[in-house]
Structure 1
Amino acid sequence: MSPLPEPLQPRGRAATSNAAGRFERDTREPFDDGWSETDPAPKQIRTTLIKDASRTIISTNDSPDISFNRSINPYRGCEHGCIYCYARPSHAYWGYSAGVDFESVLFFKAGAARLLDQQFRKPGYQVEPIVIGANTDAYQPIERQLRLTRSILEVCLRFKHPVSLITKSAAITRDLDILSELAELGLVKAAISLTTLDQKLARAMEPRAATPKRRLEAMEALSKAGVPMTVMTAPVIPGLTDHEIEALLKASANAGAQTAGYVLLRLPLEVRDLFYDWLKKVKPDAADKVINMVRDTRGGADYSSDFHIRGRGEGPIADMISKRFRAGVRRYGLEKDRVKLRCDLFERPLDTEDQLSLF
């Protein structure tokens, strides 16, 4: 994967390339031939929105190392642009690059609330908690405009359906009114991802996500509103962010987090080259060290997709990260039992159309 020539690298995006997806027959690379008398300004790429015509809204999985089996992702692609995002390769299925396209060409499920309402009304529907934002962030910047996540939460409140959220955006606090009502009923919990407390590194690695300070403030606001809070120190990047494990846990506990989790850096498919290219540009002096440490946690490879290993790694470095994390969880009181959401309150509201259908 060749990085974009310097003048062509887009501002405010983490990816340094936009290579064609792995399913495409042809590949194209921009090239600065140097004939311009003045260097062009870095290109600013605007976000493109595409309506997703999905007919279903709830995704299911049977992975033995994932703690939930139902999820909703209102958006595909993510404007936060986190360079390490394991969801990047999914964009290739739609004919787009896992690079800049993933950050700037976004699909949105306009009928999300309607589809969820229909699903809940099916006679055979069985209630289980649903996770929002497990793949791409449900509170990325376009949520302010489209409000799809909020509309989904409104449906969950109306049906008294259990739901949990994971995000790295402080924008989740815009829905505190709904979340506090759900929390009173024992129907919601939330997790906020916190990768680093280094604002400069966060801006380079997660260019359009909330700053670490704002995420901690969001954690505190949610906790005060009664929403059970988990901090996800994810991903832990060996040689780059692993030294912050204890500081991340301490700051999160002080902000009101009750429990904690972590995921070791994952580099599936296109993510590997994107991350390594970014690392060599942003942290050239540390790049070789980080790459070697990452490989040490994967048996010498860049990634292993095996269940239970993909999120934790293996070997001495991975074991040390696990031990430090567990010790930090105990030290800062983050070992409380995970809240179990209620499934017994679910009810189908009787709206006007339902009432008329009785006559």
Structure 2
Amino acid sequence: MKKRPFTGRGTLANPVGRFAGEQRETFDDGWWQEEEPAPLTRLLIDSARTIINYNDSPDLPFDRSINPYRGCEHGCPYCFARPTHSYLDLSPGLDFESVILHKPGGPELLRRELSRPNYRVAPVALGINTDGWQPLEKRLQLTRRLLAVLAEFNHPVSIVTKSALIVRDLDLLAPMAAKGLVSVAISLSTLEGELARRMEPRAATPARRLQTMQKLAGAGVPVGVLVAPVIPHLNDHEVEKVLQAACEHGASWGAHVLLRLPHELKELFPAWLEENYPARAAAVLRQLREMRGGELYESAFGTRMGGQGIMAQLLARRVRAACTRLGMDDGEQWRLRSDLFRVPGRGEQQQLF
């Protein structure tokens, strides 16, 4: 494992995934002193045959999602989606943020799926696992093309992003918002610039995210804030400040998610803590275990997002109290219209059954 992280990258290691047939470990014998260059981003094609993913999770407010990319250049060491790279025989470490798969045929797949006679419309979540407006999107414009298809079909969509690039697409978002078809959640974990730089090395700064909320709200796009992840002893003291700042910049609803460390993240994130905040590392992990039933992560529906125990309950009450005081809603992002959905050229509306 490297002693120092690469500039602009979030993790310190590139361990093999949990499905690999063999394990490897980097060993430094000290004779080669030249710094290893930071890995460049590699772009691969995801030849998926579908673009809409369906779920039946009882603790999610949506049953379908679209993820234009697999992997994310933002490089957040805490990202719960990192372990999904193991299914591709890639590492959830540096590979996750430097080997990105995209779906160039996604817009055509989406058009085909929405045009099926048996398709039943319901709000789709865009960018839930990995950010649809990550740095590569500026060049590829894949998410924009997917959004254009959703707009053409009058399909409701709820978005999560931590990127300021989303304002590029206000020409699509504003007309959709006027019809009640879209809402945006800006993920904002901290207002502290140094902490954000270390936790989210290639994401927009906190100030730019607040400006993004303001621009979206000013264009009539319903916007909220997702305080995620909340990490005990690292950013949990900021929850009320983040909600307050978001409200002042146009956010009309707020929510939070407790840090999630599934699979390989149980090793990757503690290593990041030891490198960046060694004096707090033990306290962070100890408190997290208290909020996760004695483990670093629990996957049970209903508690995986918010944790359990007294401290988790107190955190949830703090969020609710702050939102109530600020007049912020907790469910506005899913009150979207489905009755306007239509297949272009078909000549008749399809209703939600």
Contact kept? 1:72, 1:130, Cα under 8 Å: yes
Contact kept? 2:254, 2:330, Cα under 8 Å: no
Among 129, 137, 142, the residue aligned to 2:123: 129
Q: Deviations over 1:87-110 (max 9, x none)?
A: 011000000111001010110001
- TM superposition shift of 1:134: 0.7
Q: Deviations over 1:146-197 (max 9, x none)?
A: 1111001111111111111100111110101100011111111110100000
Residue 298 (structure 1) aligns with: 292
Residue 350 (structure 2) aligns with: none
Secondary structure of 2:341's counterpart equals coil
Contact kept? 1:11, 1:43, Cα under 8 Å: no
Residue 221 (structure 2) aligns with: 227
| Whole-Å separation in 2 of the counterparts to 1:330 and 1:159 | 35
Among 129, 148, 171, the residue aligned to 2:165: 171
Say whether residues 1:349 and 2:347 are aligned partners.
Answer: no
| Whole-Å separation in 2 of the counterparts to 1:298 and 1:54 | 35
Contact kept? 2:44, 2:101, Cα under 8 Å: yes
Secondary structure of 1:286's counterpart equals helix
Aligned counterparts, 1:57-206, within 5 A: 57-206=51-200
Say whether residues 1:29 and 2:3 are aligned partners.
Answer: no
| Whole-Å separation in 2 of the counterparts to 1:305 and 1:120 | 32
Amino acid at match of 2:123: P
Secondary structure of 2:14's counterpart equals coil
Q: Deviations over 1:319-349 (max 9, x none)?
A: 1111111111111111365151111111121
Unaligned runs of 5+ in 1: 352-359
Contact kept? 1:250, 1:332, Cα under 8 Å: yes
- TM superposition shift of 1:350: 2.2
| Whole-Å separation in 2 of the counterparts to 1:161 and 1:300 | 42
| Whole-Å separation in 2 of the counterparts to 1:243 and 1:218 | 23
| Whole-Å separation in 2 of the counterparts to 1:274 and 1:336 | 32
Residue 206 (structure 2) aligns with: 212
Q: Structure 2 length as normaliser, TM-score?
A: 0.95
Amino acid at match of 1:169: S
Contact kept? 1:168, 1:209, Cα under 8 Å: yes
Q: Structure 1 length as normaliser, TM-score?
A: 0.94
Among 2, 5, 9, the residue aligned to 1:4: 2
Residue 15 (structure 1) aligns with: 11
CA RMSD of superposed structures (Å)? 1.2
| Whole-Å separation in 2 of the counterparts to 1:201 and 1:224 | 28
Secondary structure of 2:332's counterpart equals coil
- TM superposition shift of 1:27: 2.0
Runs of 4+ aligned residues of structure 1 deviating over 6 Å after TM superposition are none
Q: Deviations over 1:41-100 (max 9, x none)?
A: 342110001001011000011000011011000000111011111001100000011100
Secondary structure of 2:186's counterpart equals strand
Secondary structure of 2:151's counterpart equals helix
| Whole-Å separation in 2 of the counterparts to 1:94 and 1:337 | 35
Amino acid at match of 1:29: E
Secondary structure of 2:279's counterpart equals coil
Taking only the aligned residue pairs, the percentage that are identical comes to: 49
Secondary structure of 1:342's counterpart equals coil
Amino acid at match of 1:241: N
Instruction: Name whichever of 39-48 and 269-278 sits farther off.
Output: 39-48
Residue 35 (structure 2) aligns with: 41
| Whole-Å separation in 1 of the counterparts to 2:127 and 2:87 | 19
- Relative distance call for 1:336 and 1:99 in structure 2 (3 A) is closer
Secondary structure of 1:210's counterpart equals coil
Aligned counterparts, 1:254-269, within 5 A: 254-269=248-263
| Whole-Å separation in 1 of the counterparts to 2:22 and 2:245 | 47
Secondary structure of 1:308's counterpart equals coil
- TM superposition shift of 1:32: 2.5
Contact kept? 1:5, 1:30, Cα under 8 Å: no
Aligned counterparts, 1:326-341, within 5 A: 326-335=320-329, 338-339=332-333, 340-341=335-336
Residue 301 (structure 2) aligns with: 307
Contact kept? 2:255, 2:330, Cα under 8 Å: no
| Whole-Å separation in 1 of the counterparts to 2:36 and 2:202 | 17
Secondary structure of 1:195's counterpart equals coil
Unaligned runs of 5+ in 2: 347-353
Q: Deviations over 1:278-333 (max 9, x none)?
A: 00110011111111111110121111110011111111211111111111111111
Contact kept? 1:17, 1:100, Cα under 8 Å: yes
Contact kept? 2:44, 2:102, Cα under 8 Å: yes
